[in-house]
Amino acid sequence: MQNKGLVKLFAILFGLVSIYQLSFTFKANQIEKEAEEIAINKISETEDNYREKRSQEEANYLQEIATDTVFNLGIAKFTYNEVKSKAMNLGLDLKGGINVILQVSVKDILKGLSNNTKDPVFNKALEDATELQKNSQNTYLEDFFIAFDAIKGDTKLASPDIFYTKQLDGEIDGSMSDDEVKSIIETKIDESIVSAFEVLRKRIDEFGVTSPNIQRLGNSGRILVELPGVKDVERATTLLQSTAQLEFWDAYKGEQFYQFIDQANGVLQDIVEGETEVAEVEPQDEEDATDAQIDDLLGDAETDSTAVATQNNPLGDLIKGLGYPGGPIIAQFSIKDKDKVLDYLNMPEVRSLLPAEKRYTKFAFGKPEAGSEIVGLYALAGNRENVPQLSGAVVVDARNEFGATGKPEVSMQMNAKGAKIWEEMTGNAYANQSQIAIVLDNVVYSAPGVTTGPIAGGNSSISGSFTLNEAIDLANVLRAGKLPASADIIQSEVVGPSLGQEAIDSGTTSFLIALALVLIWMIFYYGKAGGFADIAMLLNILLIFGILSGIGAVLTLPGIAGIVLTIGMSVDANVLIFERIREELTKGKGQKEAIQDGFSNALSSILDANITTGLTALILFVFGTGPIKGFATTLLIGIGTSLFTAIFITRLLIDWYANKGGKLEFATGITKNLFRNINIEFLKKRKIAFIASGAFIIVSLGALFTNGLDQGVDFVGGRTYQVRFSQDVSASEITNLLSQPDVFGSADAKTFGDANQLKITTKYKVNETGAEVDEALRKTLYTNLQPYLNGVSYEDFINESTEKSVGLMKYYKVSPTIADDIKQASFWAILGSLIVVFLYILFRFKKWQYSLGAVVAVFHDVLIVLGVFSLTYKFMPFSMEIDQSFIAAILTVIGYSLNDTVVVFDRIREFFNEHTNWKFEKVVNSSLSSTLSRTLNTSLTTLVVLLAIFIFGGDSIRGFMFALIVGVIVGTYSSLFIATPIMYDTVQKLEDKKKKKE
């Protein structure tokens, strides 16, 4: 080998750089453990909001030392922030946290650009586009244009009622064609999505999450956000979805609307019940009139000659209390009745009761006190345009602080324009002794009066029943700005921290066991040479982790599986080399010559095998998301480092030992004669193999058509909850309980791992994406599972009670729209990998028959893996859902199967060129026989690795590993009995045709 000194230098440098990079990970973990211990010692578990305070205390400590030097390497010193930025990033499945895909509402943006036009064609096109989206792979904007073109008639996009507005004046004029307007609207939509992305990025930066990830997904308005380590799920999702639409409205006094509510109740009696008798009673005096109104509002009227005789009070019966005299609250209602009350008050028949000066009144509910189920109703002084007197656009800064009462609040500073309007508003409120309502996202946070005269300078504050974190987050979103449109969570995954720790423990265990087995096997089979391969393999692992840390990649549980699979591939490269050296030694060559020729002859097979696997990994990286991308990343890195360590480092060690005069036999006493002088006529057995494979495929297809597959929410949409109980529970009992009409209507609970853990899946309200819907479903789940939770509180349930290790360990949601996209992406990933590999094999071997044999074998392997899953998913003691992880497994099976096949094809090409007088049948049989040792050795080693992960790697990855195990077995078989025989038959058939023509 040339340039040994350079290889040594690179190996030493790469090793030192990897150790250097990993040192930051160890240091960061040490500091974070210190922060956790400090918080535990400082905050008592008996304190209110223990979790919130503990989490805040940890964050405060880390914030305090953020710029302190915490790591001194002698030649350089690093602050905590610098250490953390260089540490390895752990994925959600290892650290816990939240992963969401947000869909920015392009529909809302279009409405805004049109100034909320009432044009019927425009609004009908919006609704039609919403329907088209249910079965479309287009963006919403593309479907809107399609829908508009279908119904527009003479209507133009550039009409004054649509996009020729004051807002777009100068960019769009009435003479423009629809195509010209479409181009401008596309640009405006893209700008709005970029704006939403920047707003979310600022919010996340302020939130204080370590190593967040936020990225746009194509041009569909989707934004991926990953927040590893987040423990307060509700807080995070609220932060992401809040539009931060801040408004300031003049508020009426509550008692001004008592009579209106009373009259509305009377009208509603007719509407709701259809019949009623109302007796008008003249009150004795003004005081009696007020008392009578209050009694009527509260539903306390007595049935005598002076009372209102009524059979029902549609609105009055919902009232739980009135606001204080002179205050802005009209009445108080249950939170659950809010929508019903607003529906009542916004009915045309009811709004017609408002006096002329109040006809544009806007009704809104306030923010309830913490733990309260009661909320106040406000009446805001609206206008014809339904716009506030002052909006949050004037806010230039916001800070959380503690008010005069010691409670958290948010102070704001306005710009000059806002300060002037604010001074006018506060002056009017002072003169009229009225209030100003501060409204955020249609919720009245506070409605303070003005007692000191007009407020100059643009300073104001928002007070209310804030927790400290709510005040921090509100100040954060106000500083970052509002989203240009609503952002709904269409896919989310939440993993509890203890589940992440379990994944780390199980992943580490499986990794160490697999590594130990491989290291022992290599020494057992190849003796001292196997020991040198082990050293190279350990360096390979160090390099993988070092590179992952250095490039800021995220390590996931599938990523650990990718590393372990890389160990198998590293073994494969060494096996190929050692088997070729053994062949050269058998020919009588000297040790040094045999080593040189063995490495040289194995190089082509190693490169071809790794390139084909690398191509499938690359496709997986392009089409995959989240943990699957992590798997592909580690696999790609592993392929590169495996090639370097197997080809160069193993060679370096072996040459060093041989030059010292050491003797290497590349075998032990037990394995020396294994697979020697094998001469199996594989092609004569191909008909039996074809019949057997045909039978397997028929059974698989039959199972797929009759039994189907257990499709996960990735492909069908829905919500999945992984719940752990303190005792064993019956999956069928929980299924029946949650499938009741008044719960989820339909649900499926399966035992997941141990008998005290269930995976619960439901499609209930799958099309509803709001944060409040997710929260309502979690509460419903908790309420119905309470008898099985042994007194665990709701807070502990959703945040996973670490002490009891029970509760909601993981939550996953996929909307039907994105499920279709995932399904399509998976299809293209598999098809793309087959096409790419077909072309690569055609390029390398120059004959399409080789590509055909390889691709048919891959189809064979995929069908059988699918068939096994279809036949066994109902009774296997682990989850066998078809999800994105399964697609990753299928692509890996494709890569592995091709790896085996390419090695055989490479030997066929070599023998064909060396033995020109041999018949093609003999070339093929000899090639298969000579590579059998490598095929079985690599397959056995890989199976041992996969079995170690399958047994010790945790429940969440077991189905993934099972698919790989089946795939390796079937792939090994197909490379011997399917791919090569099909290639032989098609080549031979072509040769026969040529001979007939001649």
Burial (Cβ within 10 Å: 0-12, 13-18, ≥19) of residue 814: buried
Which residue matches tokens 């119905």? 784
Q: 3-class DSSP state for residue 169? A: strand
Q: Which fold has domain 718-813?
A: Alpha-Beta Plaits (3.30.70)
Integer CA distances (angstroms), 963 to 123, 178, 616, 937, in order: 48, 52, 16, 20
**Which pLDDT value is given to residue 625?**
63
* Distance, CA of 956 to CA of 873 (rounded, Å): 15
* Distance, CA of 908 to CA of 695 (rounded, Å): 28
Rg for the chain, CA atoms, rounded: 35
Strands 89-90, 554-555: parallel, antiparallel or unpaired by DSSP? parallel
Specify the higher pLDDT residue, 478 or 149. Answer: 149
Is the pLDDT at 567 greater than 80? The verdict is: no
Question: Which of 766-790 are b and which e, b meaning 16 or more Cβ less than 10 Å from the residue's Cβ?
Answer: beebebebbeebbebbbebbeebbe
Q: What percent of the chain has pLDDT above 70?
A: 89
Specify the higher pLDDT residue, 256 or 552. Answer: 256
* Distance, CA of 887 to CA of 869 (rounded, Å): 13
Q: Cite the beta strand spans of 404-499 per DSSP E.
A: 408-414, 435-440, 443-446, 459-462, 487-495
The residue-averaged pLDDT of 458-464 equals 73
Q: Give the DSSP letter of residue 489.
A: E
Q: Do domains 527-669 and 681-715+815-991 have the same CATH topology?
A: yes
Considering the entire predicted model, what is its pTM?
0.68
Alpha carbon distance, N-terminus to C-terminus of the chain: 49
Torsion sign over Cα 838, 844, 848, 849: negative
Lowest mean pLDDT among 783-792, 881-890, 936-945: 881-890
H or E element in which residue 115 lies? none
The residue-averaged pLDDT of 917-926 equals 89
Q: Are the beta carbons of 529 and 666 closer than 8 angstroms? A: yes
**Which pLDDT value is given to residue 464?**
62
H or E element in which residue 303 lies? none
**Which pLDDT value is given to residue 296?**
56
Is the pLDDT at 427 greater than 80? The verdict is: yes
Burial (Cβ within 10 Å: 0-12, 13-18, ≥19) of residue 171: middle
Q: Where does 246-482 sit in CATH, by number?
A: 3.30.1360.200
Give the CATH H-level superfamily of domain 681-715+815-991.
Multidrug efflux transporter AcrB transmembrane domain (1.20.1640.10)
Lowest mean pLDDT among 58-62, 337-341, 939-943, 948-952: 58-62
**Which pLDDT value is given to residue 482?**
66
- DSSP for 391-404, please give it: EGGGEEEEEEEE-T
**Which pLDDT value is given to residue 304?**
37
Confidence band for 206, pLDDT divided at 50, 70 and 90: low
**For residue range 80-98, what is the model confidence (pLDDT) as tens digits?**
888 888 888 877 777 777 8
* Distance, CA of 749 to CA of 759 (rounded, Å): 6
- DSSP for 598-648, please give it: HHHHHHHHHHHHHHHHHHHHHHHHHH--THHHHHHHHHHHHHHHHHHIIII
Is the pLDDT at 791 greater than 80? The verdict is: no
Q: Give the DSSP letter of residue 256.
A: G
**Which pLDDT value is given to residue 277?**
43
**For residue range 531-559, what is the model confidence (pLDDT) as tens digits?**
999 999 999 999 998 998 888 777 877 77
Confidence band for 274, pLDDT divided at 50, 70 and 90: low
Is the pLDDT at 51 greater than 70? The verdict is: no
**Which pLDDT value is given to residue 210?**
62
Confidence band for 703, pLDDT divided at 50, 70 and 90: very high
Beta-carbon neighbour count of residue 807 at 10 Å?
Answer: 26
The residue-averaged pLDDT of 192-196 equals 82
* Distance, CA of 11 to CA of 46 (rounded, Å): 54
**For residue range 497-527, what is the model confidence (pLDDT) as tens digits?**
666 677 777 778 887 888 888 889 889 988 9
Tokens coding 263: 């009259």
**For residue range 744-782, what is the model confidence (pLDDT) as tens digits?**
888 888 887 777 888 888 888 877 766 677 788 888 898
The residue-averaged pLDDT of 954-969 equals 84
Q: Are the beta carbons of 147 and 128 closer than 8 angstroms? A: yes
Specify the higher pLDDT residue, 123 or 712. Answer: 123
Tokens coding 131: 């329907």
**For residue range 838-857, what is the model confidence (pLDDT) as tens digits?**
888 888 888 889 989 988 99
Q: Which fold has domain 527-669?
A: Multidrug efflux transporter AcrB transmembrane fold (1.20.1640)
Is the pLDDT at 403 greater than 70? The verdict is: yes
Q: Give the DSSP letter of residue 870.
A: H
**Which pLDDT value is given to residue 498?**
65
Confidence band for 466, pLDDT divided at 50, 70 and 90: low
Q: Give the DSSP letter of residue 786.
A: G
**Which pLDDT value is given to residue 1?**
56
**Which pLDDT value is given to residue 535?**
93
Domain boundaries, given as residue ranges, for the chain: 12-87, 104-236, 246-482, 527-669, 681-715+815-991, 718-813
Beta-carbon neighbour count of residue 985 at 10 Å?
Answer: 16
Tokens coding 166: 């004051």
* Distance, CA of 899 to CA of 613 (rounded, Å): 6
Most confidently predicted of 228-242, 244-258, 707-721: 244-258
Question: What is the distance of C-alpha 99 from the center of its chain?
Answer: 4
Determine the length of the chain. 998
Q: What average pLDDT does the chain have?
A: 81
* Distance, CA of 815 to CA of 727 (rounded, Å): 32
**Which pLDDT value is given to residue 279?**
38
Is the pLDDT at 671 greater than 60? The verdict is: yes
**Which pLDDT value is given to residue 497?**
65
